[in-house]
Amino acid sequence: MNAASVAAPPRVAGWRDYVALTKPWITLLIVAVAVAGYFVALPGHLDVTRLLLLVAAGGAASSGAAALNHYFDRDIDAQMRRTRGRPLPTERIAQGSRVLALGLGLTVLGIGAAAITLNLLTAFSILLGSVTYVLVYTVWLKRRTAWNIVIGGFAGSAPALAGSAAAVGHWTDGALALALLVFLWTPPHFWSLALMLREDYRAAGLPMLPRMEDPAYSAKVTVLSCALLVPATILLAYVGPIALPAIVALVAVSLVFLASELPMWHRSDRKTALRGFVVSGPYLLAVIAVVIVNWMLVRGVPFAGG
């Protein structure tokens, strides 16, 4: 038999493939939002142990939800250039049941750990985020409606509520304002990506833009959705409470993000969309950093051990 006609065996899954299932970058953002929610609600001493428990529980649940997203999207992932190299489409992990079990296990572990070590409201907040991302966004809306990422955006907001619940046992006004900001950040972030990859999404049959057939219209809606972040930032500053230097910083980074998106009002090409997408992630991290630094400067007191 000709050796060239013998198919090479699929590469055995390694630890990197299982790490990829957890979507580390998204998990990092989710955990960072939870930490920001913790600090925007925290009135006094920082309990390091409690904060680390929040990070661990939120990270586990987010990783589990990401793995479940891989499992439910494995068919459309195989159709898209951006995702066809993932572990399930390439069959580096051939048994989808393993991914399903991993996702369910990590999600239950994170929610259960939050309920036992923190409080029930923190666990409920994490559960809300997981259910929204996996069932509402991935399973129900993603393939059916262009509103998928708008409604599904609550999945990124829930960690702010979890952080507040872990800090003080309830959802504060500041945490709710932060959750609203993250909710409003999600559409311009993902719509910029979808404008870049619209042919990929169209080939997979995913309605990821306000109008898949009209990139110019979708680009304008993306700019308008980004503009909503400016009043959302002012609201966060008002109810935070946020000190004046932090208010200036928050408004400044929001205007930088908006400036990166503004060219899409006239152009909906890949290069223009890429500029907005590249700025969107650092923008959210900058907001989180400002919230944490604000607490350190305004309400920072010596750490408590636990």
The answer to whether residue 1 is domain-embedded is no
The answer to whether residue 4 is domain-embedded is no
What is the Cα 112 distance to its own chain's centre?
21
Rounded CA gap, 206 and 242, in Å?
A: 40
Cβ–Cβ under 8 Å, residues 103 and 65: yes
Q: What is the pLDDT of residue 225?
A: 97
The answer to whether residue 6 is domain-embedded is no
Q: What is the pLDDT of residue 12?
A: 63
The answer to whether residue 30 is domain-embedded is yes
Q: What is the pLDDT along the chain (306 residues), one digit of tens a residue?
A: 444 444 445 566 688 999 999 999 999 999 999 999 999 999 888 999 999 999 999 999 999 999 999 999 999 999 999 999 999 999 999 888 999 999 999 999 999 999 999 999 999 999 999 999 999 999 999 999 999 999 999 999 999 999 999 999 999 999 999 999 999 999 999 999 999 999 999 989 999 999 999 999 999 999 999 999 999 999 998 898 888 899 999 999 999 999 999 999 999 999 999 999 999 999 999 999 999 999 988 775 444 444
Q: What is the pLDDT of residue 5?
A: 44
Strand, helix or coil at 216? helix
How many domains would you assign to the chain? 1
Rounded CA gap, 55 and 205, in Å?
A: 36
The answer to whether residue 234 is domain-embedded is yes
Q: What is the pLDDT of residue 8?
A: 46
Q: What is the pLDDT of residue 306?
A: 42
The answer to whether residue 12 is domain-embedded is no
Rounded CA gap, 295 and 243, in Å?
A: 9
Cβ–Cβ under 8 Å, residues 265 and 219: yes
The answer to whether residue 120 is domain-embedded is yes
Q: What is the pLDDT of residue 296?
A: 86
The answer to whether residue 306 is domain-embedded is no
User: What residue numbers bound the domain in which 85 lies?
Assistant: 17-298
CATH code for the domain of 120: 1.10.600
Alpha-helical regions (H) of 146-243:
148-152, 154-168, 173-196, 198-204, 215-227, 229-239
Query: 193-223: buried (b, 16+ CB within 10 Å) or exposed (e) per residue?
Result: bbbbbbebbeebebbbbbebeebeebbbbbb
